[in-house]
Amino acid sequence: MFAAIETSFDEAGIALCDGGGVVRFETLSSQVELHAPYGGCVPELAARTHLSALPQLWRNIPEELQGQISHLGVTSGPGLPGCLLAGTNFAHGVARALKVPLYGLNHLKGHVFSPFMPMGKEPPTAVLYPHMALLISGGHTELFLVEAFDKISLLGQTRDDAVGELLDKVSAMLGYGYPGGAKLEKLARTYPGLTSDGRYDGAFKLPVPMRQSGDLNFSYSGLKTAVARMALPEAGASNALAEEDHPSLLACLFSVICESLWIKVRQALRSHDVQLVTVSGGVAINGFIRAKFAAELGHVGIEVRFPQPRHCLDNAEMMAWLLKLTVDSGVEPAGFDADSNWNPGQPAIVS
């Protein structure tokens, strides 16, 4: 049985999967309500809360499953330094007590391989190499070429805000609170002139960022400013945007986000011959983005895979699955340090 602990950001989770990759147990302690009054995650508060949550979460594991744990993994980067330390210190203690090998796991690699997790009781599909992986979350917007389990290259990334960060900031700006992605999607769906794959026919116009940049990078801070200029008098709007116009503006925003993500993947596909593209991370729950990628990749005959919605947001199940893949691929456990900037294409910092 493979057990993993995940505390890279504001969720603490523990999950166990069996040798076939089927999740046998999971528990999560969410801090969304704790951070909501601050409009975003407060790192110190998150780390301190993990310290008290982890022992309680561990006690939730049924005894007979605890006895079957053969390998333990813990997210050791990237993430908030205090949160990573809370998880890795706890994991060192547990591994010693259980006398099982401990592996430091990369959180982004967890997202990247999450689309291959078994669905329910179905056997897992083999990971197809090479493939392209778009990771879109609150902290990350990255495009990877995945040539083998241990050969992951970063093709492009955001120069500033992540796409989920843009949604969270726009949500705060318009008064819908944190986190914002799901609420904004719901509102945009009430606008009648938006097709399921994100084509918008309304009055608002927003620029598609980085359209002409020539590289595979992304940028979302300019869109945030453009939305502020349309919605907030203090940012230059002639009047505060009426609430009834929010759905149209948000529909326009999602349409531009879909296009900005797709044009970079399309460009990358011209120089890398792959038969599969995956889209993972919290923002990959989004129905407009799923429909856009399914339609565009369908046209060019390339398969697209998404994780199940419950495995898009940060979770420990994807880390238990990653641990299983790590052990299956013959990687030996090694000493590691928490590394808040660990790029999955690079080796871990080894203590």
Binding site for ligand KG4 (CB under 6 A): 9, 137-139, 164, 167-168, 179-182, 185, 281-283, 285-286, 313-314
Pick the binder of Zn ion from 6, 168, 296, 314 (CB under 5 A): 314
Kindly tell me the burial class for residue 67, based on how many C-beta atoms sit within 10 Å of its own C-beta (0-12, 13-18, 19 or more). exposed
Binding flag, residue 137, Zn ion (CB under 5 A): yes
**Least distance (Å) between residue 182 CB and Zn ion:** 15
Tokens of 107: 């959180």
Stretch that binds Zn ion, among 47-55, 182-190, 292-300, 309-317 (CB under 5 A): 309-317
Taking the complex as a whole, the smallest distance from the CB of residue 246 to Zn ion amounts, in Å, to 27
**Closer to ligand KG4 by Cβ: residue 88 or 286:** 286
Q: Are residues 73 and 322 in contact, defined by beta-carbon separation less than 8 angstroms?
A: yes
Closest CB 192 distance from Zn ion, rounded Å: 33
Give pairs for 228-234: CB < 8 Å, separation 24+: 228/173, 230/204, 231/173, 231/174, 232/173
Residue 283's binding partner out of Zn ion, ligand KG4, none, with CB under 5 to 8 Å set by partner kind: ligand KG4
**Closest alpha carbon to 166 in 209, 196, 198, 201:** 209
Looking at beta carbons only, is 104 or 282 nearer to ligand KG4? 282
CB closer to ligand KG4, 78 vs 104: 78
Q: Is the peptide bond before 233 cis (omega within 30 degrees of 0)?
A: no
Whether 300 contacts 269, CB under 8 Å: yes
Q: By C-beta, is 164 or 247 nearer to ligand KG4? A: 164
**Contact partner at residue 78 from Zn ion, ligand KG4, none, CB < 5 to 8 Å by partner kind:** none
In angstroms, how far is the first alpha carbon of the chain from the final one?
A: 26
Distance CA 326, CA 332 (A): 9
List residues binding Zn ion (CB under 5 A): 137, 314
